[in-house]
Amino acid sequence: MKSKFMLFVWAALVTIVLIGSLSFARQGIGLITEDFASSNDISWRIEEFYEYIGPAILNPIDKEEAMKKITVTDSEIEEHRTRYGTLADQLSNIHDQYASRIADAKDNGNEDLLTTLVEERNKKLEDIKKNFESDAHVEAKIRKAKERVLEQYLNEIKMNSFSLPIAYTLTDVDTGETYTFGDTYASSIYKKEFNASNGYLKAYSLPDRHVRGDWSSISYDDSEVYVTDEDILNMANPVKLFEGEVIIPKTVIGKGGELYSQYKDFNRGKSMTFAFYLIGLLALGALLTVAKFQKEWVTETAFANWYSGVKVDAKIALLFATSFILLGYVESHSNLHNFFMYQSLGRWGVWLTSFIVGGVIVTAFLAFQLVNIIERWKQIGVFEADLKNSYTAQFFKALQEMFLNRSIGVQSFILLIGFFLAGIGFVFAAMNPFLVVVYVFCVVFFALPVLYIFIKRSAYLNRILKATEAMAAGRLNEDIKVEGSSPLAQHAKNLNNLREGVRVSMSEQAKSERLKTELITNVSHDLRTPLTSIITYTDLLKDETLDAEERAKYVDILDKKSQRLKTLIEDLFEVSKMASGNLELNKQRVDLTQLLQQALAEHAEEIAESGLDFRTTFPETPFIAYVDGQRWWRVLDNLIVNAVKYSLSGTRVYITLRKMGDNAEFVVKNITKYELGENVDELFERFKRADTARHTDGSGLGLAIAQSIVDMHNGQMKIELDGDLFKVTVTVPAG
């Protein structure tokens, strides 16, 4: 709980520092020197004053003179004349417009309305005819409409009111005429002088923005004409130059003045902004001293454990999103002066909420993300594993696997592109009717054939799935019909092969039952033989006439047979444990070279007596693998004992230990004493021996035990037979 609290305190301090730093970088220096008169709120009002004092007061356009400058072009006359079609079209339209209304007036006997409608219709018909008969008639109509629009525009300019109580004394440089408003000798917060050295005031007869070609704020369209920019500029007066001065009296910011409240807001915002900068400095000091960031605030949380399982590309996306949110928040809240100028109790609540949600929480989460990434980067192999397990890697892997069967991949890709283009084409066709023809052509000659093939393949796939269900239920009588040479047809062939494999498996199962029977027989034989000997010699020992030498001989035989029986039972129990999975491995780092040397030394006497020539090859340096040393020694011991027992006397036995890629490989090669059958896999079966007469010592479980131990180590054991050459290869992951 304390870690979470400290993390959020740290995040709050960081957010304050970020907002304060960006705000100071943008407006801090300017705010130190800025006064109320140079603030943005006042500046744009002053610019507005200079823009409109010319058109409204100093250099207004004379309406009568402006109307004389109106021009009407031949193209305007022609456009006005034919705007609604030919003469016949327009006359027909007028007749149609009045026909039903005149008929209704006749039917209702309303003579006054009938007369009015007929006169109105005839007047319009006559006007249309004159339009096509006389250019002067059309020109007069256009000119009158333009006069109406231009008069409206000039009235709008003159009605513009200044939003500042500005005093001025300005004199026309050419005529000497002076314009005065207010007391320009009063104490002021803003003052600007215009003269030859400072520059004269240029008074335009149009707003400055219109002189620059910005007509976006003007609406001078009419139902009959369109007033062009040229029409507006033609009525402008020449620019006049004025000297004098313009001031904003100081009284406007005094108590009761027109700008008093704005002045108070400006100074309050300025003071509170600098107070925030001071808080930011204190926050920075705290971050460098008492509130230094500690990674334990992040790592020792339950959320950290959950977040570690999130895919790395999702983390990166979240990191960018969080960073942009924080940058956006700091950006939107960095204009502290304006905020403090216009803040209210309600706005303070909104600011505090956004500070906690958009600032503190986002900053804390961003810190959490960065620490998580850095910590996982430090762990060897973890970040690489995260990249391999990412959504992006899985997507590209899936995309690659999509083309394992290139035909299916290409067809699926074309199908996806086709559907995508069909959607795009539909949108464009809806936007442009001309493209409908192209779209229909593509649908008929491309989309529909592709759709037909897709449906046909889907139907074939469903038939294959139904046949697969029948195979899973054990109904193996019918083959799946192979149609064509598509990937689905090849899949049907593979399923047919699988069905045949199931039949072979059933044959193998019968073989397994036979081996089980042989197993029981062999177990019974190998256990009964020593047990029979024990019983026989026990009975002989009961003879009191035996001398000491014979008695000792019988006791020695009993001891050997008992040890033989003990070995059989212990090996049988160990194999059973391995088969049931109840045997646990104690894996550790083991030097395989040393372990092999120990196993050979254990049987040095037996090897010397066997008459066999053992040739060994193994690394001169330690060869480390992660195995259960005791169990792996048993594998080596069993294979060496097997070679000693069943190798032809006088031959060589080759034992090799080497590294093959990431695996350790142990190989034993010898010439067999007994003739082996072709099916060497049965040698892995329990109680199977090369000595089929079962005259040799041993349990017949050596290879079975070795196989089980190798399997438990995720290794492989393989037997190869070439005539009398017997070869066992054991591989296990090295590390």
CATH code, domain carrying 677: 3.30.565.10
Contact 700, 522 (CB under 8 A): yes
> ∠ CA 156-160-163 to the nearest 5 degrees?
160
Q: What would the two tokens of residue 657 be?
A: 């230990």
* Per-residue model confidence (pLDDT) at position 730: 92
483-510 mean pLDDT: 70
Question: For residue 531, is it within any domain?
Answer: no
Question: For residue 639, is it within any domain?
Answer: yes
Domain end (from 251, 272, 291) = 251
pLDDT at 297 over 90: no
pLDDT in tens, 643-674: 888 899 889 999 999 988 889 999 999 998 88
pLDDT at 193 over 90: yes
* Per-residue model confidence (pLDDT) at position 456: 73
* Candidate ranges 9-18, 368-377, 395-404; pick with highest mean pLDDT: 9-18
Contact 38, 44 (CB under 8 A): no
Contact 70, 146 (CB under 8 A): yes
Name the domain count of the chain. Answer: 4
17 and 52 both lie in a single domain:
no
With b for 16 or more beta-carbon neighbours within 10 A and e for fewer, the 339-372 pattern comes to bbbebeeeeeeeeeeebeebbbbbbbbbbbbebb
pLDDT in tens, 452-495: 777 777 777 777 777 777 777 766 666 777 777 767 677 777 77
pLDDT at 95 over 80: yes
What does the CA dihedral 547, 553, 559, 560 come to, rounded to 10 degrees?
Answer: -160
723 and 628 both lie in a single domain:
yes
Per-residue pLDDT band at 562 (split at 50, 70, 90): confident
112 and 234 both lie in a single domain:
yes
* Per-residue model confidence (pLDDT) at position 170: 94
pLDDT in tens, 581-612: 666 778 898 998 998 888 888 888 888 888 89
pLDDT in tens, 229-246: 677 777 788 999 999 999
Q: Which of 477-486, 687-696, 711-720 has the lowest mean pLDDT?
A: 687-696
382-409 mean pLDDT: 73
Chain CA centroid to CA 190, Å: 56
Question: For residue 180, is it within any domain?
Answer: yes
* Per-residue model confidence (pLDDT) at position 687: 37
Contact 73, 142 (CB under 8 A): no
In whole angstroms, what is the distance from residue 270 CA to residue 264 CA?
10
* Per-residue model confidence (pLDDT) at position 218: 44
38 and 131 both lie in a single domain:
yes
pLDDT at 691 over 50: no
In whole angstroms, what is the distance from residue 584 CA to residue 706 CA?
15
Please provide the average confidence, as pLDDT, over all residues in the chain.
Answer: 79
In whole angstroms, what is the distance from residue 395 CA to residue 272 CA?
53
pLDDT at 517 over 60: no
Per-residue pLDDT band at 116 (split at 50, 70, 90): very high
227 and 301 both lie in a single domain:
no
203 and 275 both lie in a single domain:
no
* Per-residue model confidence (pLDDT) at position 693: 40
What's the maximum distance between 2 C-alpha atoms anywhere in the chain?
A: 166
351 and 439 both lie in a single domain:
no
Question: For residue 663, is it within any domain?
Answer: yes
Q: What is the 8-class DSSP label of residue 36? A: G
* Per-residue model confidence (pLDDT) at position 714: 86
Contact 644, 697 (CB under 8 A): no
pLDDT at 169 over 90: yes
pLDDT at 212 over 50: no
Could you tell me where the beta strands, DSSP code E, fall in 609-715?
A: 613-617, 624-627, 652-660, 663-671
Domain end (from 251, 278, 305) = 251
In whole angstroms, what is the distance from residue 680 CA to residue 698 CA?
19
Length of the chain: 735
Residue type, 631: R
Q: What is the 8-class DSSP label of residue 446? A: I
pLDDT at 697 over 60: no
Question: For residue 525, is it within any domain?
Answer: no
pLDDT at 93 over 70: yes
Q: What are phi and psi of 173, to 5 degrees?
A: -65, -35
Domain end (from 449, 472, 495) = 472
599 and 717 both lie in a single domain:
yes
Q: What are phi and psi of 492, to 5 degrees?
A: -60, -40
240 and 374 both lie in a single domain:
no
Domain that holds residue 669: 584-733
494-508 mean pLDDT: 69
186 and 280 both lie in a single domain:
no
330 and 288 both lie in a single domain:
yes
pLDDT at 683 over 60: no
* Per-residue model confidence (pLDDT) at position 696: 44
Question: For residue 40, is it within any domain?
Answer: yes
Give the residue from 607, 688, 679, 693 showing the smallest Cα distance to 647. 607
210 and 295 both lie in a single domain:
no
Query: Within 13 Å and on the Cβ side, how many CA atoms surround 428?
Result: 12
The three state secondary structure string of 528-568 is HHHHHHHHHHHHHHCCCCCCHHHHHHHHHHHHHHHHHHHHH
Question: For residue 547, is it within any domain?
Answer: no
* Per-residue model confidence (pLDDT) at position 695: 44
Q: What would the two tokens of residue 705 be?
A: 């035990």
Question: For residue 483, is it within any domain?
Answer: no
Contact 531, 565 (CB under 8 A): yes
Per-residue pLDDT band at 545 (split at 50, 70, 90): confident
